[in-house]
């Protein structure tokens, strides 16, 4: 008995010594300047909402991949409520998180939490959405967000027949009536998506090929708070009533996100679009949500932009591991993402446009969705 106790005591001392050698700083951080074993570290993962599939998948992917590396994970969803997210992050810090991975609801609302993290030596990785107005964002993993907007605009032009899928001139000449939707103004990505899209669309609006009949061309007019489907449906209904009650039709809608696209499509269908005589307008999207992939397969939604969240999770894990080892993660962009205080070193992943013909090769072959899920329009 006494032997066993002795053995335990030695192991405990050894473990403590090893931890000390690992360079754990005050506040239990194994982060910047640290160099701790994964097994000793807890990573707080703060996700915005479970109302959109992609964030559920993001949370699960990050958790699984971190746990596979041996980290302990504290994963929280904030129900798209800003005070809840702030409180969850504060709590992660209090409970000893060593590294934080955060997808913000409102990118400007977390400066206080990040100050607290910095005071405790906790590296912060902004996940997909940039955290603004804080110098305490250490790294940013995301997709090429400007390119998402460019791809959405090109998909709109392809859907309208103004160009082919590989960017060659199409058979249609226009003019076409289009309407523009944007994301939530508190999400930095919304600006990148809209700016990217307008870099393609503006010249065609200027030369009359595209007509925004409502006249609502600013991001403030086009924005949908919290990216909500119902809000998008209401705005589309309002646009149809105010700008298309003279017998004219809307030919295309720039939509930044599949949930918004479904709201737009519902409004269009309720107004009589979607028959042989009154074709559904070309509607774009983003995220390859399963309900929208089905709509694309069925010829209702025109396109989406696929962002492989498994790869994003992987990058977050790579970045967290670098911090855990006391190193800086490797960036592939050190110029684009100025958060108002500093340019945050970033790792950007590429994106892919998906039309009906691409569902098999891009989404099913990569095992993002199964053929059965696409058929059913819902995840297993």
Q: Which residues are at the interface with ligand BGC (CB under 6 A)?
A: 52, 54, 128-129, 183, 187, 189, 227, 257, 286-287, 307
Q: Closer to ligand BGC at the Cβ: 121 or 226?
A: 226
> In whole angstroms, how close is the CB of 353 to ligand BGC at the nearest point?
14
> In whole angstroms, how close is the CB of 366 to ligand BGC at the nearest point?
17
DSSP state string for 276-314: SSSPPPEE--SS--HHHHHHHHTTSS--EEE--HHHHHH
Q: Closer to ligand BGC at the Cβ: 140 or 257?
A: 257
> In whole angstroms, how close is the CB of 142 to ligand BGC at the nearest point?
7
> In whole angstroms, how close is the CB of 240 to ligand BGC at the nearest point?
24
Q: Which two tokens stand for residue 225?
A: 């708070």
- Which of 38, 46, 73, 196 is closest to 128 using CA atoms? 46
> In whole angstroms, how close is the CB of 176 to ligand BGC at the nearest point?
25
What is the side-by-side strand order in the sheet with 42-47? 72-77, 42-47, 99-102, 124-127, 139-143, 346-349
| Residues whose CB is less than 8 angstroms from the CB of residue 362 and which lie 6 or more positions away in sequence, other chains included | 306, 352, 354, 368
- Whether residue 182 contacts residue 216, with contact meaning beta carbons closer than 8 Å, is answered with no
Q: Closer to ligand BGC at the Cβ: 251 or 258?
A: 258
DSSP state string for 65-116: HHHHTT-EEEEEE-TT-HHHHHHHHHHHHHTT-SEEEE--SSTTS-HHHHHH
Buried b (16+ CB within 10 A) or exposed e, 196-220: bbbebbeebbeeebbbbbbebeebe
Q: Which two tokens stand for residue 109?
A: 């609302």
> In whole angstroms, how close is the CB of 307 to ligand BGC at the nearest point?
6
* Tokens 């025109």 belong to residue: 302
Q: Closer to ligand BGC at the Cβ: 137 or 204?
A: 137
Q: Closer to ligand BGC at the Cβ: 65 or 152?
A: 152
> In whole angstroms, how close is the CB of 287 to ligand BGC at the nearest point?
5
Nearest residue to ligand BGC, by Cβ distance, number only: 257
Q: Closer to ligand BGC at the Cβ: 103 or 319?
A: 103
CA 112/CA 107 separation, integer angstroms: 12
> In whole angstroms, how close is the CB of 113 to ligand BGC at the nearest point?
18
Cα-Cα end-to-end distance for the chain: 52
- Classify residue 189 by burial, with Cβ atoms within 10 Å: 0-12, 13-18, 19+: buried
Q: Closer to ligand BGC at the Cβ: 227 or 347?
A: 227
Q: Closer to ligand BGC at the Cβ: 52 or 301?
A: 52
> In whole angstroms, how close is the CB of 257 to ligand BGC at the nearest point?
4
Q: Which two tokens stand for residue 94?
A: 């209090």
Q: Closer to ligand BGC at the Cβ: 38 or 235?
A: 235
CA distances from 101 to 130, 317, 323, 359 (A): 11, 9, 12, 31
């Amino acid at each position: 008995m006494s032997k066993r106790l002795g053995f335990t005591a030695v192991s405990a001392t050894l473990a403590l010594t090893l931890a000390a050698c690992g360079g754990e700083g005050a506040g239990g951080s194994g982060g910047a300047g640290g160099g701790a074993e994964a097994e000793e570290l807890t990573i707080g993962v703060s996700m915005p909402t479970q109302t959109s599939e992609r964030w559920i998948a993001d949370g699960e992917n990050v958790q699984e991949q971190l746990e596979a590396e041996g980290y302990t994970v504290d994963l929280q969803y904030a129900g798209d409520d800003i005070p809840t997210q702030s409180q969850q992050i504060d709590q992660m810090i209090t409970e000893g998180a060593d590294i934080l991975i955060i997808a913000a609801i409102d990118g400007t609302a977390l400066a206080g939490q990040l100050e607290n993290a910095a005071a405790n030596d906790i590296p912060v990785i902004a996940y997909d959405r940039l955290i603004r107005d804080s110098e305490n964002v250490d790294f940013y993993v995301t997709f090429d967000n400007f390119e998402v907007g460019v791809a959405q605009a090109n998909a709109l032009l392809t859907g309208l027949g103004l160009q082919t899928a590989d960017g060659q001139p199409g058979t249609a000449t226009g003019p076409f009536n289009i309407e523009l939707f944007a994301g939530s103004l508190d999400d930095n990505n919304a600006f990148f998506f809209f700016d990217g899209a307008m870099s393609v669309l503006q010249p065609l609006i200027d030369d009359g090929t595209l007509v925004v009949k409502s006249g609502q061309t600013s991001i403030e007019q086009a924005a949908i708070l919290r990216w909500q489907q119902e809000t998008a449906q209401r705005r589309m209904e309002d646009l149809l009533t105010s700008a298309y009650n003279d017998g004219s039709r809307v030919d295309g809608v720039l939509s930044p996100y599949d949930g918004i696209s479904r709201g737009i499509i519902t409004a269009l269908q309720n107004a009589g679009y979607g028959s042989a005589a009154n074709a559904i307008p070309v509607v774009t999207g983003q995220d390859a949500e399963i309900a929208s992939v089905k709509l694309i397969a069925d010829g209702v939604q025109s396109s989406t932009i696929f962002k492989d969240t498994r790869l994003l999770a992987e990058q977050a894990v790579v970045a967290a591991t670098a911090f855990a080892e006391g190193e800086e993660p490797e960036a592939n962009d050190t110029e684009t993402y100025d958060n108002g205080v500093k340019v945050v070193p970033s790792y950007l992943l590429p994106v892919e446009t998906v039309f009906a013909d691409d569902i098999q090769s891009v989404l099913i072959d990569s095992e993002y969705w199964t053929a059965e899920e696409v058929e059913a329009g819902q995840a297993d």
